[in-house]
Amino acid sequence: MPSPEHEALVDLFRWQPTLALGLLERCLGVRTPHGQRVTVREATLSQLAPPAFHADLVLRVEDPGADGTAFALVVEVQLRRDERKRFAWPVYGAVARSRWRCPTAVLVVTPDPAVARWAATPIELGPGSVLRPHVLGPDSIPRVTDPEVARASPALAVLSALAHRHEANGVATVFAGAIAADAVAALDAERGAVYYDLVTAGLDPMARKALEAMMGLQDYRFQSDFAREYFGLGKARGKAEGKAEGKAEGKAEAILTVLEARGIAVPPVVAARVRACVDGARLDALLRRAVTAADLDEVLHADT
């Protein structure tokens, strides 16, 4: 039975079907038709192929001419190795090609680098015949850390968080994914909550603490109930409510927590200087920079 993570990832491409086509072209260099409507055909392959062969999602790019199909893309979410898939994927592509008589591709999406390497191995069909699945893994999925990009492209930001959340600086992509989930929740509360759980699942305590600190940024107002509740809890921790000095202390600790979670070493003298700061605007600038800066010097640049 597919896991909740698998189903949520499939739903991501079902909800935004152009995401898969866009990433196929942008990240893997595969040209796809432009300007046509994209429809989701989930059951078609399972009806035409034996029951054992059931694709996660089939996207059909419509063409007003000919038989109405310009391109078909089979999207497979793969969280772990499964040798049976290497027999199924060629079937999916062949059935879609036969059904709509159009160019077809198989796209495997995985947040696991080891699974990505396995999935990209060419599949030998027979003498002189090979299928090479297109694979979107951590190496090819863009990193989204900018809140504005997350709001504008929430599906991409959620996918980015899943692919990069366990990396050294992954907490910044999780923060962007949480903002994206909140943007989705403003339109669809249930789907937004699922995506929020998806991007924050499996975080270690330090990463969770860093995420909580990032969610305390003063310039963001969450729209969904679940995010506002989380934001309220995070904002209350480490701060003396209603007191300016308590707020400054909380912001200072948030900065140091984010840097520690990202693996950026902070010398004791610098940590002491951050904790001694009582300028709220300066601390806000440091916290924003701590989320994405490449090193400590870049963080402290906001303090000069």
Structural domain count, the chain: 2
What does the alpha-carbon distance between residue 102 and residue 41 come to, in Å, rounded to a whole number?
A: 15
> 159 and 111, same structural domain?
no
Asked whether residue 141 is assigned to any structural domain, the reply reads no
Residue 287 lies in a domain: yes
The answer on 283 and 191 residing in a single domain is yes
How does strand 57-62 pair with strand 69-77? antiparallel
Max Cα–Cα distance, the chain, nearest Å: 75
| End position of a domain, from candidates 93, 112, 136 | 136
Q: Are residues 82 and 117 in the same domain?
A: yes
The domain in which residue 190 lies consists of 147-303
Decide: residue 236, CB within 10 A, 0-12 exposed, 13-18 middle, 19+ buried: exposed
- In this prediction, residue 2 carries a pLDDT of 72
Whether residues 24 and 151 share a domain: the answer is no
Residue 142 lies in a domain: no
Angstrom distance (rounded) from CA 61 to CA 219: 40
What was the pLDDT predicted at 1? Answer: 63
**Do 131 and 49 lie in a common domain?**
yes
Please tell me the pTM assigned to this model.
0.75
Q: Are residues 82 and 214 in the same domain?
A: no
**Domain boundary residue among 115, 136, 157?**
136
| Strand pairing category for 134-136 and 38-40 | unpaired
Residues 6 or more apart whose CB falls under 8 angstroms from that of 259 comprise: 266, 290, 296, 299
CB atoms within 10 A of CB 2: 12
Domain shared by 214 and 82, yes or no: no
- Residue 223 has what pLDDT? 63
φ, ψ (nearest 5 deg) of residue 139: -70, -25
The stretches in the chain having pLDDT less than 50 are 43-44, 46-49, 218-219, 233-243, 304
Residues 156 and 290 occupy one common structural domain = yes
Q: Are 124 and 13 members of one domain? A: yes
Residues 92 and 161 in one domain: no
Q: pLDDT tens digits, residue range 63-97?
A: 876 568 899 999 999 999 999 999 999 999 998 89
Which of the listed residues 136, 169, 199 is the one where a domain comes to its end?
136
pLDDT for res 66: 59
| CA distances (Å), origin 156, targets 87, 104, 138 | 29, 23, 13
Query: Looking at the domain assignment, is residue 108 inside a domain?
Result: yes
Measured in degrees and rounded to the nearest 5, phi and psi for residue 116 equal -60, -45
pLDDT (tens digit, 9 = 90+) per residue, 162-211? 999 888 778 889 989 989 998 898 888 888 888 988 888 877 777 777 77
Please indicate, yes or no, whether residues 87 and 34 belong to a single structural domain of this protein. yes
User: Residue 46's pLDDT is what?
Assistant: 46
At 64 the pLDDT is 72
